[in-house]
């Protein structure tokens, strides 16, 4: 059986144009049903199973097994806590449940640093599924999730369009959307918007991201590595090419996920909203990888601020917000991986938020006459854009090779 699975072709989600041909043909009956006001849940489950299977078969068959075990594991945790929460609300049990839910991703992230190789527990998308599972536990604790069944939770966890790289949805939003079959006019609008996102995603991922990532970036990478000076203009090329590639590749993928979700009658939230138009780093995080940044904002930042305020850990609220920003972004850095460049990336993003808050307070108090016009707006956008690009250069890991793995 394992040999047969390993011999099958593997289809990376949204990896090639032919993938979309198969996928759109497969979900066509589902779209026809939604047009007539019917959701064929059984057919959707079948299509989802087939395409998820094709994402993790072939050489990725071990990830398929890990995925199945992981989903069963998280379902037991969430359903167990849901049953417990009906009559109890111990903070200790809540934190233990969250810890147990997070444990697999902690093992996966720590394994390369601790034992020198990736954990067998890992699979593509484990981070995003962890956010969904832990978010469901938190919302159950808060009383926002009052009813949940094993099947509805599994359906939410392995929703096919978003399983590997998000966007990160919330259970109660997803389930409300799923149960309310859209009226015909509303569904046609979803399809129309989905078609636009699909073509925009093709432009982003297969054209623009291709040139930045496959044409321009390798040129500057090679030139930077060959330059004997410790810092060069080619390094700036690496910085900008990587940053633009990262955006267009990930934004393109997210547009695909949202588009297919719309075709399936689910309004998955958008992940990017023109982030490079941001006038400060706080606005940037309201536009960049929105589902992730809002998850950290709601479940880490806001809860830490609430707890610290309640227990009076800080006398100064500005100090409290600064500590919360640093904690929030450092955790995000560690989430990406236990390497110096991910951790430094998180630190700099947190520091940027702290400095931004300080600047806004200083400007309100001491620079009341400072003009707000088109010029100052573009200066703010320019500064924010370049700060973001610099942190992306660190995030890329290129500097690790450039400074520590370079032989020139």
pLDDT by 10s per residue, the chain, length 408: 555 555 556 678 888 888 999 999 999 999 999 999 999 999 999 999 999 998 887 777 888 899 999 999 999 999 999 999 999 999 999 999 999 999 999 998 888 766 666 777 778 889 999 999 999 999 999 999 999 999 999 999 999 999 988 899 999 999 999 998 999 999 999 999 999 999 999 999 999 999 999 999 999 999 999 887 777 889 999 999 999 999 999 999 999 999 999 999 999 999 999 999 999 999 999 999 999 999 999 999 999 999 999 888 988 999 999 999 999 999 999 998 889 999 999 999 999 999 999 998 988 888 777 888 889 999 999 999 999 999 999 999 999 988 887 443
Q: Both tokens of residue 137? A: 């536990």
The Cα–Cα gap between 361 and 378 comes to 20
- Output the pTM of the full model: 0.92
How far is 216 from 218, CA to CA, in rounded Å? 6
Does the active-site annotation cover 408? no
Catalytic choice (336, 366, 372, 408): 336
């Amino acid at each position: 059986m394992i040999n047969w699975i390993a011999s099958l072709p593997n289809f990376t989600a949204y990896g090639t144009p032919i993938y979309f041909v198969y996928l759109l043909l497969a979900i066509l009956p589902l779209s026809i049903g939604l047009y007539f006001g019917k959701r064929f849940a059984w057919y959707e489950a079948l299509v989802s199973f087939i395409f998820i299977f094709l994402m993790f078969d072939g050489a990725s068959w071990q990830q398929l097994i890990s995925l199945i075990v992981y989903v069963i594991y998280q379902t037991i945790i969430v359903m167990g806590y849901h049953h417990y929460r009906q009559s109890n609300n111990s903070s200790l049990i809540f934190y233990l449940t969250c810890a147990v839910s997070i444990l697999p991703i902690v093992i996966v992230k720590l394994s390369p640093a601790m034992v020198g190789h990736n954990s067998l527990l890992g699979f593509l998308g484990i981070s995003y599924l962890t956010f969904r599972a832990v978010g469901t536990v938190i919302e159950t604790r808060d009383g926002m999730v009052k009813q949940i069944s094993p099947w509805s939770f599994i359906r939410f966890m392995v929703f096919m369009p978003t399983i590997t790289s998000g966007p990160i949805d919330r259970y109660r939003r997803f389930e409300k959307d799923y149960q309310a079959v859209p009226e015909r006019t509303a569904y046609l609008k979803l399809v129309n918007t989905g078609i636009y996102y699909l073509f925009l995603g093709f432009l982003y991922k297969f054209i623009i991201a291709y040139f930045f990532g496959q044409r321009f970036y390798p040129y500057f990478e090679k030139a930077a590595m060959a330059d004997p000076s410790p810092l060069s203009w080619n390094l700036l090329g690496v910085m900008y090419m990587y940053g633009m590639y990262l955006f267009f590749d990930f934004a393109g993928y997210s547009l695909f996920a949202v588009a297919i979700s719309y075709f399936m009658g689910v309004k998955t939230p958008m992940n990017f909203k023109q982030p490079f138009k941001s006038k400060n780093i706080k606005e940037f995080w309201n536009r960049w990888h929105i589902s992730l940044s809002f998850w950290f904002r709601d479940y880490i930042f806001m809860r830490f601020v609430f707890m610290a305020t309640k227990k009076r850990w800080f006398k100064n609220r500005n100090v409290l917000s600064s500590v919360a920003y640093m904690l929030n972004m450092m955790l995000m850095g560690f989430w990406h991986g236990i390497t110096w460049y991910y951790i430094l990336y998180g630190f700099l993003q947190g520091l940027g938020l702290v400095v931004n808050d300080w600047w806004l307070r200083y400007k309100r108090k001491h620079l009341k006459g400072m003009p707000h016009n088109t010029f100052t707006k573009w200066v703010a956008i320019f500064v924010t854009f370049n700060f973001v690009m610099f942190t992306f250069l660190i995030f890329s890991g290129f500097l690790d090779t450039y400074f520590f793995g370079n032989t020139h």
